[in-house]
Structure 1
């Protein structure tokens, strides 16, 4: 195996290209075997670095979004006994809805995989450079309620209305207060035509009206949303049992319990 020269490694680190050394030895071996021109070798090395940086940027966006790391399209269990419009899913995975500032409402009974598929679309958006934020609807409403106490509501609402893709999970589970109804109305109003939302719910959009404190606000907010949203309906058995942890019979006997690995505060999920 080719060893990277110390001076070269130092220079790479000064240029913040230290990770190039991870694949440089094997690239040098490949270049020697194939009598590769220096320009082609340089392109190969730089392409490796671009791929690493893009992957790192995607990981950072996923963490900032609050997405579950395992809820990705490639992890979806295709044997799940649920049904949905696969053609529509293919359209949504093109992310054209983000370019057009359209919304998605993911409807279905408890446990059919609404959160999973909404999160998977969020991961895909992160991969393609979009800013994403994933929140449970009740968490968002509680945060906005608390933000009134420290006069940070405007800043919080700006964050909610300006992110490329806002994912609200379990919307309209219970009736909203007057303030919460106004918050949702403002959110729906300000994101219309400006940014996309994915909302998961056990209730059809027609049932959302009864969850608002104010009928007129409800009609205006829901009408704006549903007329700019794709309806993605999932039917079938609960998907959650497929997410249960399972014992791997082929795995070796577990070792003794270990101490928790310290996590640097800056690396903790926000």
Structure 2
């Protein structure tokens, strides 16, 4: 079966129905259907299932882009041979994304470079593939955006974006002390999302150390207590994971020339 067997009328009809991408694989599917003497309904199901898969993939990619996730950080891309230690049973449970159903939170804590951001973004990417809305921010940039939003009267709209998503990822939290305004913003986020939407926080410091970063001890206690009482704690330790992502040069066995690995 060749491309000529697909008539102009069929092409135009598929495009009017916004099914034009089916044409990319239709010749192969037609050939397969003829070889296997596939019933008409099975053939129709096959090509429509192809289109459903394609649309799901495109939707997941768009959600990941809107979420500001690193596209390289995927569950399947994690190097399982990395010399890092964490509770594997807990990690497997988090990968099921059941914590999103109960609006639970996750604290991913560990020293610099062990892959905290990678794992957080990988959970975000998995959530996008499940049709969930996700937004990822580095803590300092998120607080700066909220501060600027106050100046141009868009604060409420900016805050609603952070509250509306199914999963909010806050990276590198607790690195610096917060002023009164920043403390209030974090308080609003943690209290408003309490049992309403999930948060994944990555930090070099444990939740018990976050209290000292707030300007207001009372708000700090209230916000952190709400978060920790509803959060899984994934503690990571070991060697830097970033070393595995470092570009290297390797030598060709025949010429001895170097090339990028």
Superposition TM-score, scaled by structure 1 size: 0.91
2:31 and 2:196 map into 1 onto residues whose CA distance is 50
Equivalent residue in structure 1 for 2:153, among 151, 154, 158: 151
Equivalent residue in structure 1 for 2:49, among 47, 50, 56: 47
**Deviation at residue 157 of structure 1 after TM alignment:** 0.6
Shift in CA distance, 19/98, structure 1 to aligned 2, threshold 3 Å: same
**Residue 238, structure 1, aligned to residue 240, structure 2:** yes
- Equivalent residue runs for 1:74-85 within 5 Å: 74-85=76-87
- Equivalent residue runs for 1:198-237 within 5 Å: 198-237=200-239
Corresponding residue for residue 265 of structure 1: none
Equivalent residue in structure 1 for 2:60, among 32, 54, 58: 58
Runs of 4+ with >3 A deviation: 246-250
**Deviation at residue 40 of structure 1 after TM alignment:** 0.6
Corresponding residue for residue 2 of structure 1: 2
Q: Which runs of 5+ in 1 are unaligned?
A: 254-270
Q: 1:116-160 CA distances to partner (integer Å, 9 max, x unpaired)?
A: 000000000000000000100000000000000001001111110
Task: Report the 3-state secondary structure (helix = DSSP H, G, I; strand = E; otherwise coil) of the residue aligned with 1:213.
Answer: coil
Superposition TM-score, scaled by structure 2 size: 0.94
**Deviation at residue 198 of structure 1 after TM alignment:** 0.1
Q: 1:195-222 CA distances to partner (integer Å, 9 max, x unpaired)?
A: 0000000001010000000000000000
Corresponding residue for residue 31 of structure 2: 29
Q: Considering only aligned residues, what root-mean-square deviation do their CA atoms show, in Å?
A: 1.4
2:211 and 2:71 map into 1 onto residues whose CA distance is 33
Q: 1:152-206 CA distances to partner (integer Å, 9 max, x unpaired)?
A: 0011111101110000000010000000000000110000010000000000101
Task: Report the 3-state secondary structure (helix = DSSP H, G, I; strand = E; otherwise coil) of the residue aligned with 2:169.
Answer: strand
Q: 1:2-54 CA distances to partner (integer Å, 9 max, x unpaired)?
A: 21222211111111100000111111001101111111100001000000000
**Deviation at residue 249 of structure 1 after TM alignment:** 5.4
1:51 and 1:151 map into 2 onto residues whose CA distance is 41
**Deviation at residue 247 of structure 1 after TM alignment:** 4.3
Corresponding residue for residue 257 of structure 1: none
